[in-house]
Structure 1
Amino acid sequence: MNYLLAMLCGILLLLMGCANDTVQDNQVLRFGCFLNSPEHQQELEQLLKEFSQREGISVELIGLNWSDGKTKLISAFNSGTEPDVIELGSDWVAQFSGADVLSQLSLQEIQSERFPAVSLGPTIWNNAYYAVPWVLSTRIMFVNEDLRKKAGLSSTPYPTTMDELRKQSASIQNIAKEGVYGIGIISQDLHQVYKRVLPIMWSNGGDIINKHGKPTLNDSCNIEALNAYASLVPHGIIESAKQLDKMFIQGKLGFWISGPWLLEKIPKEKSTLKFGLALVPGMKQGSGLSFTGGDYLAISKKSSKREKALKLIQFLTSAKQTMRLCRLSITAGIPADLEGQIDPFFKTIPGFAAFIDQLAKSRLSAVHPKWLDIEYAFELAVSQSVYGVKTPSEALQEAQQTVQALLAH
């Protein structure tokens, strides 16, 4: 009898322990987020603490880094240990939503009226929404005023077309001493090439994937645009994006298309460079577009805490909270929330208004679960064209065939 009673008590205690674990688990929301700096992490942890106090649920921050964070997320989904809320790059959302691992969201849940229409593109897959825009970033043209003056271009307006860019780059190259170039050209940096070349195609009415998800790399508009990009080669230097950033700071480039990180680096390097900022040129007058990328927040389809997860996303993506992260560094990006884009803080940063203006004239890459494979084929075609291995027409035709075969499986 005593033995039976002891056994029943043991079972009861075990069940209570399991119940406790379940309750404890239900009180913790897991957030997988990419951490950019110790300051960023500290401010984010403070935001999560405030959210926890308001909503009565703890938030566990799972730090990720851009070098292997995506691989870790895929492994977590495969093993069933994925976070409730996940930060994703704009060109990853389609891959994860296409894999049916994200929770669908309504426009009301996204609060779509808070965001520019262009930012909602990556959130859509098969006519459903799966993520909420958080921060956006774009690229503009940096202009070396000293080199333009030496080339006799001081009174000439900044180039707004690819033809004008080629001519002004040539003028600078003609007077440049050794180690100085008219323009920086990128051709082999993975995930970087398309962000500078694809916008030229967009400005010419082209694209590499149409609205039906079919490849259009060999479209005549794209061939013309890639020809224009390749025509810059005699007047510049081909290098990695990181090296070209460095060369611009050193005053060795006339023109270079880069992001807000360069605007932050120039004064930090104590450079005496006199430079200007301009919108990215297009194929025709006034047609210039730039690439916009961003970070998005999504909910795991298997999350048992969807309601709280959605509240966390709405909290973090609000202009007020996002600005707390953006104020730490201009490299943190621009709030996707329209209210944040007009925050007075950005007016205190010399030149940053150009990024806000460019954001209104920018696009995101195509939404496709195989985008990274498509991107690789496209960037290979650009590299072949820039180095003269193939003509733009030949390179894009080969890329078209590669992507067609890829999408057939």
Structure 2
Amino acid sequence: MHRAARTASVAVSLVTVAALSACGGSGGEDVAADQKQTLTVWAMGAEGEKLVDVAKEYRKANPNITVKVTPVGWDVAHQKLVSAAAAGSLPDVMQMGSTFMGEFASLGVLEPVDTGKFTKDDFFPASWEGNVVDGTAYGVPWYVDTRVLYYRTDLAEKAGIDQAPADWKELSALAEAYQKKADTKWGISLQPYNLDAWQNWLPFFYSAGGELIKDGKPALDSPAAVKALEEYRTYFDKGFAKKSVQPGYDVVKDFGNGSVPMFFSGPWQVTNIADNQPQLKGKWAAAPVPADASATSFAGGSSLVISKKSEHKAAATDFVAYLSEADTQADWFERTTDLPANQAAWDDKRLSGNENLKVFREQMENAKAVPAMAEWAQFSSKIDAAIESVTQGKATPEQAAKKMQSETAGLVK
């Protein structure tokens, strides 16, 4: 999962990639890991810039291997990967956002993970499962994120509440108490529509016991889906959440001024709040998502993949293994604040001593993967549309769930 919106797929490009994949091989003979060679690596966003320094550290211990890192903006990452795959010019190693995995694995351009080199038990289960397509893992988890609840503790105390909401009933009660007793304008921020509204809704759905895919088919008209849509709708019907949000809305700004005392988001907000709302020090906290049948969020993040056509698979595998080691991942956290996918890294004092991070480890242990599917962009857009229809009063939860189910039926293969 990445933080910026992915660019739209180009159907012609995908057809081209599929055709090339069908007739392409694995490239030439693989170069031994200890031979002099250059690895090409693409990494996205800030990670691409930071990885340049890590690659230099890696070369000190592996002088025969030059790692050439190319930073790629998330706004162009998808199209750049599609174009390179079509041209047969993917780099040896790539950072792969979790919602890209199913698409590129299905195109046949990724090398399966060497499970003799990488053990899935080293990683959070949900982060590993997000890389599995038809029983085969194609990516090694690099860093993780998940959604938790951020809330203003000072305003909660003013409203007479001294602990985080543990379930849906308490979440709704706190939203109401904020407005009535702490005089906040809103009780919570939830995304009512637009791209990636599913990210706010999915913790409700998973916590209600829902599954996006069941027995190889969408399961979006289940009782859990209806229940989660109904619960989500109540926040808008009761006036706890805004029914209209402008593109680029900065929830942290309103969190800082107190007009929005709760929201769901990922780990990057810890640094964002500290840097941009320093007056909130000691006045906020993060908690696991409130429970229904469970307290389950979804797992996002990025993984590392190797091109099927790479002629440097041995060296690429060694470099990915280095980036996946617990000590390297703890160091990576210090450089980027990206949360480690390797569970052992969380015992490192660089993370274990940070109170703000404990909730994310707890939530990752209670998280589910977003299924790796080729048509995720279209699939998730149908969920976004259903959420909008419910929050805007255009459809009942039952009607929206039924429409989601029918419109996604042909997208799962």
Give the alignment's TM-score, normalised by structure 2.
0.85
Contact 1:150 1:175 in 2 (8 A): yes
> Do residues 199 (structure 1) and 207 (structure 2) align?
no
Residue 4 of structure 1 aligns with which residue?
none
Cα distance, 1:41 vs. partner? 4.2
Partner SS, residue 282 of structure 1: coil
**2:212 equivalent among 187, 190, 208:** 208
Partner SS, residue 189 of structure 2: strand
Residue 125 of structure 1 aligns with which residue?
133
Residue 168 of structure 1 aligns with which residue?
174
Cα distance, 1:241 vs. partner? 7.5
Residue 379 of structure 1 aligns with which residue?
384
Contact 2:204 2:228 in 1 (8 A): yes
Residue 228 of structure 2 aligns with which residue?
225
Contact 2:49 2:71 in 1 (8 A): no
Partners in 1 of 2:402 and 2:227 — Cα distance?
Answer: 13
Partner SS, residue 396 of structure 1: helix
Partners in 2 of 1:282 and 1:270 — Cα distance?
Answer: 29
Partner SS, residue 143 of structure 2: strand
Partners in 1 of 2:51 and 2:367 — Cα distance?
Answer: 29
Cα distance, 1:198 vs. partner? 1.3
Partner letter of residue 235 of structure 1?
F
Cα distance, 1:218 vs. partner? 0.9
Contact 1:136 1:335 in 2 (8 A): yes
Structure 1 residues 35 and 325, CA, compared in 2 at 3 Å: closer, same or farther?
farther
Contact 1:52 1:59 in 2 (8 A): no
**1:259 equivalent among 266, 271, 279:** 266
What does residue range 81-100 of structure 1 map to in structure 2 within 5 Å? 81-100=89-108
**2:284 equivalent among 233, 256, 275:** 275
Residue 104 of structure 1 aligns with which residue?
112
Partners in 2 of 1:39 and 1:94 — Cα distance?
Answer: 26
Cα distance, 1:147 vs. partner? 2.1
Partners in 1 of 2:59 and 2:189 — Cα distance?
Answer: 44
Cα distance, 1:187 vs. partner? 2.4
Residue 151 of structure 2 aligns with which residue?
143
Residue 363 of structure 1 aligns with which residue?
368
**1:72 equivalent among 74, 80, 86:** 80
**2:301 equivalent among 282, 294, 304:** 294
Partner SS, residue 67 of structure 1: helix
Cα distance, 1:381 vs. partner? 0.5
Partner letter of residue 252 of structure 1?
S
Partner SS, residue 328 of structure 1: helix
Say which one has the larger Rg.
1
Residue 9 of structure 1 aligns with which residue?
none
**1:318 equivalent among 312, 317, 325:** 325
Partners in 2 of 1:270 and 1:384 — Cα distance?
Answer: 34
Residue 394 of structure 1 aligns with which residue?
399
Partner SS, residue 262 of structure 2: strand
Larger displacement relative to structure 2 (357-366 or 168-177): 168-177
Residue 19 of structure 1 aligns with which residue?
none
Structure 1 residues 241 and 111, CA, compared in 2 at 3 Å: closer, same or farther?
farther
Partners in 1 of 2:248 and 2:355 — Cα distance?
Answer: 23
Residue 359 of structure 2 aligns with which residue?
354
Paired residues in the alignment total 375
Structure 1 residues 338 and 406, CA, compared in 2 at 3 Å: closer, same or farther?
closer
**2:350 equivalent among 345, 351, 357:** 345
Structure 1 residues 139 and 186, CA, compared in 2 at 3 Å: closer, same or farther?
same
Contact 1:35 1:41 in 2 (8 A): no
Contact 2:98 2:130 in 1 (8 A): yes
Partners in 1 of 2:52 and 2:257 — Cα distance?
Answer: 33
Runs of at least 5 residues in structure 1 that lack an aligned partner in the other structure? 1-21
Partner letter of residue 71 of structure 2?
G
Structure 1 residues 67 and 29, CA, compared in 2 at 3 Å: closer, same or farther?
same
Cα deviation per residue 1:310-351 (whole Å; 9 max; x = unaligned)?
A: 111111111111222210242x2x111111122111234342
Partners in 1 of 2:241 and 2:73 — Cα distance?
Answer: 33
Partners in 2 of 1:128 and 1:363 — Cα distance?
Answer: 18
Partner letter of residue 275 of structure 2?
K
Runs of at least 5 residues in structure 2 that lack an aligned partner in the other structure? 1-30
Partners in 1 of 2:155 and 2:194 — Cα distance?
Answer: 26
Partners in 2 of 1:120 and 1:327 — Cα distance?
Answer: 23
Give the alignment's TM-score, normalised by structure 1.
0.85
Partner letter of residue 404 of structure 2?
A
Cα distance, 1:152 vs. partner? 2.3
Cα distance, 1:38 vs. partner? 8.2
Structure 1 residues 160 and 241, CA, compared in 2 at 3 Å: closer, same or farther?
farther
Partner SS, residue 264 of structure 2: strand
Once the two structures are aligned, what percentage of the paired residues are identical?
25
Cα distance, 1:109 vs. partner? 2.6
Residue 43 of structure 1 aligns with which residue?
53
Partners in 1 of 2:141 and 2:174 — Cα distance?
Answer: 37
Contact 2:37 2:65 in 1 (8 A): yes
Contact 2:42 2:94 in 1 (8 A): yes
Partners in 2 of 1:39 and 1:84 — Cα distance?
Answer: 18
Partner SS, residue 278 of structure 2: coil
RMSD between aligned alpha carbons? 2.3
Partners in 2 of 1:303 and 1:271 — Cα distance?
Answer: 47
Partner SS, residue 146 of structure 1: helix
Partner letter of residue 359 of structure 1?
M
Contact 2:330 2:351 in 1 (8 A): no
